[in-house]
Structure 1
């Protein structure tokens, strides 16, 4: 039996300030709020149910939740939570999800929007260097959001060498 997976629907990201994070994604990536599951001060959050459902650290309070639409691809669900023993954003060397990648057509304009929104770039765009990914104009760079989540900007306008050996393809917006 095969699972009936179609693709990634959304990513959930815990942020320290949902308003700041929403504004960041709007400015950096032209994301739009689809809906607000719960706003700050909302009475419709059952913290005990959230704690059990998501296996949150005991005592964590969910302050707000909203779903954003990116111009193309999966959505981003933002969670503002506060609780005991809360840690900073994971580094790429830590276990768990280490980054998400956003496909871009124009690095310069995307980097300008990303940094104007409060993000910090680690590098300038550089060529994809793994043999399976190389190609004219294929490039990437990394940065972080104001709260420390790592984001990759990537573009591959040229076919990748791996495509010669399999019918499987990376998803491309």
Structure 2
């Protein structure tokens, strides 16, 4: 029997400005809009139902929801929400989801596009340093979006040492 899980469908990200975030993902990752569930100014959303469904802080207003497609891999669902007690995006030291990684064949070009789109890299590319991941050209770096979410750029053109010891493999687009 096949396991019921097939993979990540999409990643949801709350942003302060949906148009700015859409432009960032279009410029940095060639994302495209698939559809808009809620556009700014629409009155087609039941805010009380959404508070219950998503366990939003009371009084939170969803202003826009947009589904984007990446060229290879999960969708990105953007939520523009405004309300009381919003907090800054999580840092990698905070509990909860703290980053997602995007695989690239050309990390230098990916960094160039990320920064041109308004992102800020924390460092340049570094060799994957965990012993199970090392290999010629295997590299990563982290950066943040204009609104502060953390994204990792990663590439591993060479086989990883862990592959010698297990048949399990990391998913690679």
Q: TM-score range by the shorter chain?
A: over 0.9
Moved over 6 A (4+): none
Instruction: Tell me by how many angstroms 1:162 deviates.
Output: 0.6
1:153 is paired with a residue of what secondary structure?
Answer: strand
SS at match of 1:85: coil
Q: Distance in 2 between matches of 1:45 and 1:116?
A: 34
Give matches, 1:83-122, under 5 Å: 83-122=83-122
Question: After alignment, is 50-59 or 104-113 more displaced?
Answer: 104-113
Q: TM-score, normalised on structure 1?
A: 0.98
What are the Cα deviations for residues 123-167 of structure 1, in whole angstroms up to 9, with x where unaligned? 000100101000010000000000000000000000111111111
The residue number in structure 2 matching 1:165 is 165
Unaligned runs of 5+ in 2: none
Q: How far apart, CA to CA, are the structure 2 residues paired with 1:128 and 1:116?
A: 24
Q: CA deviation at 1:57?
A: 0.5
Once the 2 structures are TM-superposed, how far is the Cα of residue 2 of structure 1 from its aligned partner?
7.7
Gap regions ≥5 residues in structure 1: none
The number of residues matched between the two structures is 173
> What is the Cα-based RMSD across aligned positions, in Å?
1.1
Instruction: Quote the Cα distance in structure 2 between the aligned partners of 1:126 and 1:111.
Output: 12
Equivalent in the alignment of 2:5: 5
